[in-house]
Every structure is written in structure tokens, then in C-alpha cells.
Structure 1
């Protein structure tokens, strides 16, 4: 139900039908099923579906970790590496060191790793989250 609520808040994530399996400050894990609706022309999970999974994990983790009373965040950019064909369900993890001190005008790089069912790393993203102090 939580995953569906996230997709209602950010509808585009619904296209990959994610399931968030772990969320706590500093870490988020999620999975997506390998299904035809997210395939590319060669029958593997499309690159953009993998990007969506990575951004979902990084964003939800950042949102669960940041101090909402004093700071806010927005994704600013993403660098990705496609390491192997994504031919199975996928499991992603976004993790940062926690606890941590939040700065104003900080660029937090959130690494996200995506693995196949066999544990092979198929994708890596570094997502730049722009953290800023809320105005009083």
C-alpha cells in the first residue's frame, strides 16, 4: 500500500509498478517485476525503467532521511551506467551514510545499485540531490 501511495504522489513511478521493500533513514530498497510493459526492443528491462527505479529509491530515501522542518530537496541530475542486460526482476538499493548533518545548498550524491535475481549488478546511478535550507 505504501508503494501505491508513493506512486499516487509521483504518478510517473507507477509505470514501473515498484514495491518498496525497506525504508528507513539512510536506506531504501525496492523491486520491480520483469514484464513486457517495461521492455525495450530487445526484450530486456528498458533503460528508462531502470532510471525510474533508481530515482524512486533515491528520492524516497532522501525524503525519509532529511529533516523536513529545516531542509528540502529536489533531484538535480543523474549519471547512469548500464552494466549488463536486465533480463529478470530487479532489486535496487539507495544508501547513504547516516546519521549526517544537512547543509544549505548541498549537493548530495545518492548512489543506487540495481541487481538481477541472481545478484548480478546490472545498473548503477549517482543521483545528485540538491538540499537547501527552508526559509524562515
Structure 2
């Protein structure tokens, strides 16, 4: 089933004609304007669709911890961003989305840069369109350059009507 496009998905659609690398750069800049904090961290939107969002982060000095790895807060930001933007691609414009819960377990030391892949099912997307209020647990997998999962995250996003009645 297809739903009416929202503001964020219309923005993403306008970049479909661009080559993949350029599309990623343009979307990263645009989404960095939507959420200014993202631009400071250097997050990169590698894959953008209503069902799947892939966001990456290079291990660079501005986001490092004391042992020159990706800082714990940057890892959480990566997971939160991937889950938030995949929800955002589907949230009707008349609803307000909010992070309800963020749980992050740090399992091992990360190696190099990181990538978060967040996905939604058709049923989850349908509930965002059909229910005035609700929440969704978004599946996210965060890996480092070795392909391992140094963190395990659980993100719950809620939505309410844009204007209270």
C-alpha cells in the first residue's frame, strides 16, 4: 500500500536523479539543516528509503573518545539518527514524532568508522498512518569497520497529532 508522501520523503525523492555518491552528500547536507546537530558530527546518509535508512560515521577526531575510537555518545547518535529518519520518512506531516526511549548496550571496543542500518516493516509504516497516536520499536543494527556489532540499541519512537485537540 502506498501513502501520501510527507515533507521528508519529498525532499529525498528530489535527489533520486543524482548519482549515488552525490545523492548521499546532498541528503547529508539537507538533513543536517533539518537537525543542525547532525551536521556537526559528520554523519553521512548512505541509503535513504521509507523502509530502510543507512547512516555512517567516519572515525575522525571531532567525534573521538580518549582512546581514539568513536565516542559512545556518537555511537548512540548514529543509531538514533538512522531510526529517527526512517520513521521521519513515513510520519504524516500532521503528526509529531518524538524519541520515547533509547537503550544502548556497549558490548566491545569499536574498530574504525561505524554504520547504522534501521528498518521498518510494512505493518509498522501502516500503523503510523492509521493511528493518531502510537509508538514503534525500530530495528537498528550498528556495525564497525570489522563488520562486528560493538553496540546493541533499542529505539522506540512515538507520535502524536501535530496540534493538540
Q: TM-score, normalised by structure 1?
A: 0.89
Provide the alpha-carbon RMSD of the alignment.
1.7
Match of 2:73 among 45, 48, 58: 48
Deviation at 1:22, TM superposition (A): 0.8
Between stretches 102-111 and 30-39, larger displacement belongs to 102-111
Match of residue 7 from structure 2: none
Paired residues of 1:24 and 1:65 also in contact (CA < 8 A)? no
Unmatched tracts of structure 1, length 5 or more: none
Match of residue 5 from structure 2: none
Looking at structure 1, the residues matched to 155 and 114 of structure 2 have their Cα atoms a distance apart, in angstroms, of 18
Q: TM-score, normalised by structure 2?
A: 0.74
Match of residue 101 from structure 1: 127
1:72 aligns with 2:96: yes
Looking at structure 2, the residues matched to 28 and 84 of structure 1 have their Cα atoms a distance apart, in angstroms, of 24
Higher normalized strand content (fraction of residues): 1
Aligned residues: 135
Match of residue 120 from structure 1: 148
Larger-gyration structure (1/2)? 2
Unmatched tracts of structure 2, length 5 or more: 1-25
Higher normalized helix content (fraction of residues): 2
Deviation at 1:94, TM superposition (A): 0.8
Paired residues of 2:59 and 2:70 also in contact (CA < 8 A)? yes
Residues 76-100 of structure 1: per-residue CA shift (max 9 Å, x gap): 2201111221221111111121252
